[in-house]
Structure 1
Amino acid sequence: MKPKTKFQKQIVEASKKLPKITDTQIQWAYRNCIEHIGHKTTKSVITCLECNHAWTDTTIMEHCTCPHCNTKLKIEKTRKRTFLDYEYLCIVTACEGFQVLRFFYIECKMKKGEEPQYFHSEVVQRWVAPNGKYATMARLRPMGFYGHEWSWWSDLEIRPERSLYNITPTEIYPQQKLIPEVQRSGYKKQFYNLTPFDLFSFLLSNSKAETLLKAGQTDLFRYFAYNTRKDINDYWASVRICFRNGYKIEKVSQWCDYIDLLRFFGKDLHNAKYVCPKNLKAEHDKYVKKKKEYYEQERKEEARKKALEDQVVFNEEKSKFFGIQFTDGLIQVRVLESVEEVMLEGDNLHHCIFTNNYHLKPDSLLLTASIDGQPMETIELSISEMKILQCTGVCNQNSKYHKQILNLVGQNIPLIQKRMSA
């Protein structure tokens, strides 16, 4: 779309001054982003699909190095002869005082007996100003289309902000050009499982982020950078008390929920006695129970009436997702469809899904994962960003099926996205 604001017009003009990706950079991407294949036959002949060199190896392995071109290979023992791999490269650079994240789509088509066919295209640029303000230049891409050079088309233009453009790259080019504000922030080319955009936008938009990074509080940094709906200012006074007392916050999400509970009961958030508990889980659970008792004993009738009112709001905001359910044969996942179900979920798993009103958050979709009708974990999904915010089981602990549940929900996010346009 055409740039409308002065800031957007500045970005468009600055984008014209970016240099083309160099041959060195693209060759590095081809070598490091793409998963190169070693095709193995039943006769133990391995063929490198990068250079088509073949040799015999009877050992059982998953990876090896081609003795001819020195390429690291993933061994594929299959009759399949054609392979396609597509990944993303991020180049961190600076231009006209902006921190710029350039994302390149990298594709490789490999076929036994033929030279590999490589393709690359710059598809997204994220421009972040020193004050954290940002804009996106990107090509268009239809939802659900992946793995072809035509997945992205059109020219790079100013685009409205969408989670589609918050790319997690396969690799980040090692040579980075940084603006002065980032150079002095404590950034050491580590991303702490964050996307490059999440890291730089948080780092430049909030001075407290720089304090966390320089203090080595990477867990806190990662949590507040990823959970953008959590305002670090609401917890900063307590965070400083933790710093002052040398208290390490082991589980940040649970600690923040605990601070929210302390705030609810009017406790002193500047007092180390409260904000630095020796046993976080025990204190968290104590206040969860206390809050539940508060609702049950002091406002029992009012809570019931409120639940009926909440159900109306709940239906208005979440009914489009009702009926969604999926399974991998063992685990069943479905959307929680009433306030009553949310209450039962909190009771069964002993966490604060209901007491902290997660069901009333407009951007939260709550799902339950169960086995044979027994709830295992509760999943909170961001509706706007279509990403999992948290997934916890009994007493906020992960069940033994945690990774399997995360994978199952992640695979079925497109099913949930379809309801957005229904």
Structure 2
Amino acid sequence: MKPRTKLEKAVIAQSGHLRPLATAPRRWAFRNTIDHYAYRLPKGRTTCMDCGHSWLMTGHADKCTCPNCKAQLEVKETLERKCQQKSYLNVIATCGEYQILRMFLMEVKMRKGFKASSAFREIGQYWIAPDGKTALVAIPRIMGWYLDCFAFGYPMEIRKDNDIYRYISDQYLYPKFKIIPALTRNGFDGNFHEIRPIKLFSMLLSSPQAETLIKEGNTDMLKYMAYHTDEVKHFWASYIIAKRHGYEIPDLSTWYDYLRMLERFGRDTHSPKLIAPANLFDAHDKYVQKVNRQREKERREADRIRALENEEKFRELKGRFIGLVFTDNEIEIKTLDSVDEYYEEGRTQHICVGSSQYYLKAESLVFSARIDGKTVATVEIDLRTLKVVQCRAACNKVSEYQQRIENAIASHQEEIKARMTA
């Protein structure tokens, strides 16, 4: 890809002048990144696959030491004569003001009676500028399921970063490296704290928050920030206030989730009383319940709004019954005359008469039974039999007025029939 930015152009200009991989990292990679075997035949003849030396081993053992090269070997009883292994090596270096991580693929071929041979191919380079911006110079990948599907005949050019290059950059790291002064100034002391080198370098060079965390020794928060950078920056003031008041955060993930919920409800995330609860997990659970209630309310409201689109169909089905009211001199029994009334009845009575779309049931008619304007029961009758199907008080409880309501409906069946044939 053609370099476009100032950083990419500077990187390409210097990339080709890097020295080849030195001997020391090659030896370290061979010794530490692959398995080392001693192939043993059934009669005891054993061969070191590192140096090719052969000797007679009496008795079985899981481990052994080569008498010739002194390598620690894993004994493998097999008739095989060849072995091939691959691994990735990362080397951290500098070039001028840039911090570099170079990625190499090591291929090792082993054969009985011969010294193992290794070959190194450079896969790519991460260049990090003093302001934390990164550029990737690498060979391209080709289509394939395997990790090392690289087009080795292509030149090193500016490439788009992806998960494969990031994964490789997190593999075996040569323990001796050079660091630019800016990283040392910002708190890097050679410990990566289980964070990818590229991610840590970029954070330390671009984020004052990361610099503060590593200098104060808060590695747990630093590791959390590596995967939730925007979240930590957004609530940085809350963290500073909590720290100033001596609050020890029991669990970072729970605490930040709690802060997001406080913000959702418009609470002050700078209030020490709120952001530093005595029991974080109880406070978190309390707001989880609030969020669930709010989401349920929002869902019901969205259902109600969508249901209003069915108003025309409802009037086609139930229009002839609109305004039907009768009473037993105390209980007033009236039809629900709109989709909105169904939802309002469901909300006040905590029942599903609205959300379950009773207003679209062709053979069903729903009444609201009320005393002095207060709902005492929601009643459903079957229009084919004119019998009460269900009569429910609030929260689906059995209504104490059920028998009276059934008697009132039975005594007014002729009015219902008249509406049906209107």
Q: TM-score range by the shorter chain?
A: 0.5 to 0.7
Q: State the alpha-carbon separation in 2 of the partners of residues 181 and 233 from structure 1.
A: 21
Show the counterpart of 1:56: 57
Show the counterpart of 2:25: 25
The one-letter code sitting in structure 1 at the alignment partner of 2:287 is Y
**Shift in Å at residue 11 of structure 1?**
0.8
Q: 1:141–1:153: 8 Å Cα contact kept in structure 2?
A: no
Describe how 1:210-359 pairs up with structure 2 within 5 A. Answer: 210-228=211-229, 230-296=230-296, 298-304=297-303
SS at match of 2:158: strand
Q: State the alpha-carbon separation in 2 of the partners of residues 72 and 277 from structure 1.
A: 55
Shift in CA distance, 148/272, structure 1 to aligned 2, threshold 3 Å:
closer
Shift in CA distance, 150/133, structure 1 to aligned 2, threshold 3 Å:
closer
**TM-score normalised by L of structure 2:** 0.65
User: Which is greater in Rg?
Assistant: 2
**Shift in Å at residue 40 of structure 1?**
4.3
The one-letter code sitting in structure 2 at the alignment partner of 1:302 is E
Q: State the alpha-carbon separation in 2 of the partners of residues 153 and 302 from structure 1.
A: 61
Q: Percent identity?
A: 37
Show the counterpart of 1:165: 165
Shift in CA distance, 40/234, structure 1 to aligned 2, threshold 3 Å:
farther
Q: 1:107–1:149: 8 Å Cα contact kept in structure 2?
A: no
Show the counterpart of 1:47: 47
Q: Deviations over 1:125-178 (max 9, x none)?
A: 001111111111001122435477966441111112222221244322222111
Q: State the alpha-carbon separation in 2 of the partners of residues 253 and 299 from structure 1.
A: 26
Aligned residues: 305
Q: 1:182–1:204: 8 Å Cα contact kept in structure 2?
A: yes
Q: State the alpha-carbon separation in 2 of the partners of residues 234 and 131 from structure 1.
A: 20
Query: Which blocks of at least 5 consecutive residues in structure 1 are unaligned?
Result: 309-422
Shift in CA distance, 280/125, structure 1 to aligned 2, threshold 3 Å:
same
Show the counterpart of 1:15: 15
**Shift in Å at residue 282 of structure 1?**
3.2
Query: Where do 4+ consecutive residues of structure 1 move more than 6 Å?
Result: 305-308
**Shift in Å at residue 58 of structure 1?**
4.2
Q: 2:92–2:178: 8 Å Cα contact kept in structure 1?
A: yes
Q: 1:49–1:110: 8 Å Cα contact kept in structure 2?
A: yes
Show the counterpart of 1:209: 210
Q: Deviations over 1:24-81 (max 9, x none)?
A: 22222222222222334555665321023345264654x5543432323344444544
Q: Deviations over 1:7-26 (max 9, x none)?
A: 21111112133222212222
Q: 1:119–1:149: 8 Å Cα contact kept in structure 2?
A: no
Query: Which blocks of at least 5 consecutive residues in structure 2 are unaligned?
Result: 308-422
Show the counterpart of 1:116: 116
Q: State the alpha-carbon separation in 2 of the partners of residues 33 and 241 from structure 1.
A: 45
SS at match of 1:90: strand
Q: 1:212–1:218: 8 Å Cα contact kept in structure 2?
A: yes
Q: 2:101–2:169: 8 Å Cα contact kept in structure 1?
A: no
**Shift in Å at residue 86 of structure 1?**
1.4
Q: State the alpha-carbon separation in 1 of the partners of residues 101 and 66 from structure 2.
A: 33
**Shift in Å at residue 288 of structure 1?**
1.3
Show the counterpart of 1:370: none
Shift in CA distance, 133/205, structure 1 to aligned 2, threshold 3 Å:
same
Shift in CA distance, 276/159, structure 1 to aligned 2, threshold 3 Å:
same
Q: 2:142–2:150: 8 Å Cα contact kept in structure 1?
A: no
Show the counterpart of 2:4: 4
Q: 2:108–2:116: 8 Å Cα contact kept in structure 1?
A: yes
Tell whether 2:92 aligns with 1:92: yes
Shift in CA distance, 271/155, structure 1 to aligned 2, threshold 3 Å:
same
Q: State the alpha-carbon separation in 2 of the partners of residues 46 and 294 from structure 1.
A: 71
Shift in CA distance, 33/57, structure 1 to aligned 2, threshold 3 Å:
farther
Q: Deviations over 1:263-306 (max 9, x none)?
A: 1122332233333344433332322122102222x434125479
The one-letter code sitting in structure 2 at the alignment partner of 1:299 is E
